[in-house]
Amino acid sequence: MNTEKVSAVVTGGASGLGEATVRNIVANGGKATIFDVQDDKGEKVAKELSEHVTYVKTDVTDETSVQEALNKVVEKQGAINTVINCAGIGNGEKTFSSSKGPHQLATFQKVINVNLIGTFNVIRLAIEKMQENQPNDEGERGVIINTASVAAFEGQIGQVAYSASKGGIVGMTLPIARDVAKLGIRVMTIAPGLVDTPLFANLPEKIRDSLGKMVPFPSRLGYPEEYATLVQSIIENPLLNGETIRLDGGIRMQPK
């Protein structure tokens, strides 16, 4: 897909990986709508890039919220041909702790609900819009890019909920791609490693440096812009479909 023709929805687009992706889309001539619940941040980015970006407060776990937001995008942009799912949360809790007892079921459910179910909720409703698009010369009507994590493969101690949610995203990538292949819609997933997002922003510099040195090469935290560049590559390359790409500098996470 030509990046100048991108009409995108970016969940979690108010900060971190999502914000970098929004900025990259605009820099390459496309348009984007941010789906997020961070009003201040979302409105700030939309105001800065006002000709090309819109912010719509959206709860990805809520069917009505997502449906109404997608309707607004189609009304304003004419169509949706790209979705990048970056919305997500994390937590740290062991399956069982001698001091705290069993993992809280409510926290496990919340992480699964936002990260996995929220991602699928946006996918399924966006596809309904995408399948109405006129296909390009490749027969393509749209592309969906999800965000997993290396924790999907090497979840660390205390990451059971997060790893389960991201593993689910990896696991559903191929079957969804197969489901929508005849519609001319591609589905891909990126599994980032240690990326310098707001999650790391409040950590002491010493700890940030230590984390960066865990990466074989380059030995540093990744940049959100590097994620955005990979999103761009996936959008532009029609043969990329049904796969998860690790973006991690070769790291393989240890138990802790």
Q: Are 8 and 14 in contact (CB under 8 A)?
A: no
Q: Residue 32: name the closest of 50, 16, 57 by CA.
A: 50
3-state secondary structure 4-27: HHCEEEEECCCCHHHHHHHHHHHH
Q: How far apart are CA 7 and CA 159, in angstroms?
A: 34
Q: How far apart are CA 116 and CA 55, in angstroms?
A: 22
- Going from the C-alpha of 142 to that of each of 93, 123, 197, the distances in angstroms are 37, 11, 27
Whether residue 227 lies in the annotated active site: no
From 55, 162, 223, 227, the catalytic residue: 162
Q: What is the DSSP string of 39-77?
A: HHHHHHHHHHTTTTEEEEE--TT-HHHHHHHHHHHHHHH
Could you tell me how far CA 166 lies from the centroid of its own chain? 11
- Going from the C-alpha of 89 to that of each of 115, 123, 147, the distances in angstroms are 7, 18, 12
DSSP-H helix ranges across 137-204:
160-180, 198-201
* Active-site amino acid positions: 162
